[in-house]
Amino acid sequence: MEEKAQAYLKANPTVKKLYGTQDGFLFERKQDAKNHAATLENKNVETFVPKSEESTGEVDAEQESLFDYEGEHAYLLKDRAFLLARYNFLMSETPDEAITTEDLAKEVKEHEESIFDGLE
Asked if residue 57 is part of any domain, the answer here is no
Q: What total number of domains does the chain contain? A: 2
The pTM for the full model equals 0.45
Asked if residue 65 is part of any domain, the answer here is no
Question: Average pLDDT for residues 69-83, to the nearest whole number?
Answer: 77
Asked if residue 58 is part of any domain, the answer here is no
Exposed (0-12), middle (13-18) or buried (19+): which is 99, by Cβ within 10 Å?
middle
Asked if residue 107 is part of any domain, the answer here is yes
pLDDT of residue 103: 92
Query: 3-state class of 14 per DSSP?
Result: coil
Exposed (0-12), middle (13-18) or buried (19+): which is 110, by Cβ within 10 Å?
exposed
Q: Above 80 in pLDDT, residue 108?
A: yes
Asked if residue 59 is part of any domain, the answer here is no
Q: Above 50 in pLDDT, residue 119?
A: yes
Phi-psi region of 24 (alpha: psi -120 to 50; beta: other; left: phi over 0): left
What range does the domain containing 105 cover? 74-119
Are 6 and 44 within one domain? yes
Per-residue pLDDT tens digits for 23-65 = 999 999 888 888 998 998 888 888 888 886 334 444 444 444 4
Asked if residue 114 is part of any domain, the answer here is yes
**b/e map of 32-48 (b: 16 or more CB within 10 Å)?**
ebeebbeeeeeeebbeb
Asked if residue 20 is part of any domain, the answer here is yes
